[in-house]
Amino acid sequence: MVQTEKVEEHFLIDECLEMFNVAGKWLCLLNEEKGEVRVNEQFMELFKLDHSVINRDEWISMFNERGQSGLEDDGGDTSVDVFMTSPEGIRFEGVMKRLSSNRVMVTGSPSLANESKGSYQIDGQLGTIPASQSVDHFMTWLSLIDDQLNNQSLNTKSLERFLEAPGGSSVVYNRLKEVVEHIPHGFAVISRDWEILYVNPTLEEILGRSSETLCNHNLWEVFPSDVYQNYYLHFKQAFQLNQVVKFQDYIYGRGRVVDVTAYPSNDELTVFIQDITEVNTYIHALQETEERFSLLADNINEAFWVLSSNFQTWEYMSPTFESIFGLSIGDVERDYTTWLDRIHVGDRDRVVRAFRQMGAEKTACEYRFEYEPGVWKWIRTKGYPLEKAERVMIVGVHEDITDIKEKDELIARSEQFETITRVAAGIAHEIKNPLTSIKGFLQLMMSGQANNGQYGDIVFSELSRIEAIVNEFMLLAKPEQEVELEDTNLIDVIHYVLALFRAQCRQGGIKVTTDFDAAIPDLPSDPKRLKQIFINIVKNAIEAMEGPGDLTVVGIYKADIDSVVINISDSGKGIEPEKLKRIGEPFFTTKEKGTGLGMMVTTKFIESLGGTIRYKSTIGYGTTVTITLPFIHSD
């Protein structure tokens, strides 16, 4: 039989106590295992108690010597006549009977004790019954209850004798029937010759059959033994060995998984069946989920973790944690500072802030961790808050990114070396050409074959070119901390730059058009760098137009991004897409005598002011350069 839960045990005992109240009898039920006694209202009234549970020692003190010695005797089913004394000194006669090794019942009548009588009157619905017989009748009913709790068998013939006793109580019968028909498990009584004597409604529902199709039929005719062989073998074993059998099996045609417990008596088998299909399904689903999660957690490089919302307790860490950090999960769960103290001191505060931010939103951070003394790893940790069943937890992953960092560093060094190589080659090429010219003309001048004045202008021009290249490199090398910000009127700067090229535009037939938003504010910026930026861009735009054309400068203020956007457009021949992507690279130029350093310097200056530069070009229609400069509010 499947043992009932505690709440069901209380229900059954309460039913028993209530039944004795109805019969007008007081009742005590001792649970030796718990060391407590449950009593009914009749007993509470006689013994002036305000609670239905009393301590075992307090209860024993109410008995006479025979009653106390009877409690020490745990053998047999013999009923013992006892006396109990109330606080007022009034003695009440009762009968004590041990139901099992852990349970003792004592019951009696509210009438005063008369020690000369061998029997006493039980007033109530059972009529006049000798004391020993009365106890046996009530004991039969109580045994039904106790069967659920103490693995004893239910004897239906005893029940019948009780119900058919002279003066039998219809109230007792109805209450007993109500209990049996409403217990949460299937219940059946089967005779030794396999006749089904009784099934309760719960078992009818489990089997999908009515009691009419089951009762008074042979069990194995209804459920063929060749199909239900496991049931047959277990039930047969219970009868032959007179032992309780328990097993789990299947109800064919119903798709039900059940726990079965059978209790044999001399002539009958009491069977309890519990439907565990849904529970079994949940258990298997949970096991499969746990297996899949364990397989995933054990075979990936990331370490899963779950942290309490107060950041004090690691609820879970996957096994990969130990291989990543070189720390025992148990040590970190006991004291998380063993993990925190090995984070690089320069990163620790940032990691703590990131974890606190994870309590509100998805956050990631990268930091250095001392795996072994002198051995540092790069770790990336990502986490976010998860609310489930009104409980907030922080969940995330740890990832060892040491190899990624080393690869990134290697790539950066390679790119840096490539840039240096390209710049060195560009410098050599750009300076070598004018030096070659200068050397040749100096040789001619020194040989006396040429007029010094004739080649002096050429030498001077080539030296000026070298000087321009060096100056551009010096601009490029200026550190960002040298930027000096001051309130700058951007429109005035652009007008100043356009004025420098006014004569050149007139000479080339270039029409200059400007359109500035009146809402453009003064920018905290570096006017020197702004002038150099616009000089380089306007100069390139003019040189891109080989003859008459249009140069348009438009400035607007975008409140949504709090920035000024300047568009400078020319009507030149345009630039191919593949070349457009390379603008800003050192020594890349679309001009015959360009160095490519001008736009590289321009890009660096714009970025140093917090801005961006973009290019858009259409072959045959010209190019537009868009510069976006943010407005920085002063504190």
Give the confidence band of 472 by pLDDT, cuts at 50, 70, 90: low
Tell me where in the chain the CATH 3.30.450.20 domain(s) lie: 185-280, 300-400
**Angle made by CA atoms 199, 205, 208, in degrees to the nearest 5:** 95
195 with 188: CB under 8 angstroms? no
**Mean pLDDT, to the nearest integer, of 35-48?**
90
Give the confidence band of 141 by pLDDT, cuts at 50, 70, 90: very low
Amino acid at 631: F
Q: Is the pLDDT of residue 165 over 60?
A: no
In whole angstroms, what is the distance from residue 334 CA to residue 320 CA? Answer: 18
pLDDT of residue 589: 65
Give the confidence band of 109 by pLDDT, cuts at 50, 70, 90: confident
379: closest CA among 301, 452, 431, 310?
Answer: 301
pLDDT of residue 10: 45
Q: Is the pLDDT of residue 47 over 70?
A: yes
Give the confidence band of 22 by pLDDT, cuts at 50, 70, 90: low
- 159 versus 186: which is more confidently predicted? 186
Q: pLDDT of 576-589, one tens digit each?
A: 888 887 787 765 66
Q: Is the pLDDT of residue 514 over 90?
A: yes
pLDDT of residue 159: 43
pLDDT of residue 193: 93
Q: Which of 75-89, 135-149, 310-324 has the lowest mean pLDDT?
A: 135-149
pLDDT of residue 568: 94
- Non-local (6+) Cβ contacts of 133 within 8 A are 165
Which one-letter DSSP state was computed for residue 218? B
Tell me where in the chain the CATH 1.10.287 domain(s) lie: 406-477
Share of the chain above pLDDT 90, in %: 22
Tell me where in the chain the CATH 3.30.565.10 domain(s) lie: 481-630
What are the residues facing 524 on neighbouring strands?
487
> Phi-psi region for residue 295, left (φ > 0), alpha (ψ -120 to 50) or beta?
alpha
Which one-letter DSSP state was computed for residue 461? H
**Mean pLDDT, to the nearest integer, of 606-633?**
88
CATH code 3.30.390.50 for 6-147: no
Residue matched to tokens 């000479």:
507
**Mean pLDDT, to the nearest integer, of 414-435?**
69
In whole angstroms, what is the distance from residue 166 CA to residue 188 CA? Answer: 27
Helix/strand/coil percentages in the chain, nearest 5: 45, 25, 30
Q: For domain 406-477, give the CATH number.
A: 1.10.287
pLDDT of residue 590: 63
In whole angstroms, what is the distance from residue 621 CA to residue 571 CA? Answer: 6
Architecture, CATH, for domain 300-400: 2-Layer Sandwich (3.30)
CATH code 2.40.50.1020 for 481-630: no
Amino acid at 347: D
321: closest CA among 298, 344, 342, 337?
Answer: 298
Share of the chain above pLDDT 70, in %: 74
Q: What is the 3-state secondary structure (H, E, C) of 177-215?
A: HHHHHHCCCEEEEEECCCEEEEECHHHHHHHCCCHHHCC
pLDDT of residue 337: 86
CA R_g for the chain: 50
Architecture, CATH, for domain 185-280: 2-Layer Sandwich (3.30)
**Mean pLDDT, to the nearest integer, of 486-501?**
89
Q: pLDDT of 587-609, one tens digit each?
A: 566 665 555 667 777 888 888 88
In whole angstroms, what is the distance from residue 161 CA to residue 126 CA? Answer: 14
Tokens of 323: 């291989």
pLDDT of residue 620: 86
- 61 versus 120: which is more confidently predicted? 61
Q: pLDDT of 263-285, one tens digit each?
A: 887 788 989 898 888 877 776 77
In whole angstroms, what is the distance from residue 444 CA to residue 450 CA? Answer: 6
Q: Is the pLDDT of residue 119 over 60?
A: no
Tokens of 485: 């910000």
Tokens of 285: 């689903």
In whole angstroms, what is the distance from residue 533 CA to residue 503 CA? Answer: 20
Q: Is the pLDDT of residue 513 over 90?
A: yes
Q: Which of 42-51, 180-189, 528-537 has the lowest mean pLDDT?
A: 180-189
Tokens of 199: 């099934």
**Mean pLDDT, to the nearest integer, of 444-464?**
69
598 with 604: CB under 8 angstroms? no
Most distant CA pair in the chain: distance in Å?
A: 163
Q: Is the pLDDT of residue 198 over 50?
A: yes
- 224 versus 413: which is more confidently predicted? 224
What is the SS3 assignment for 126? coil
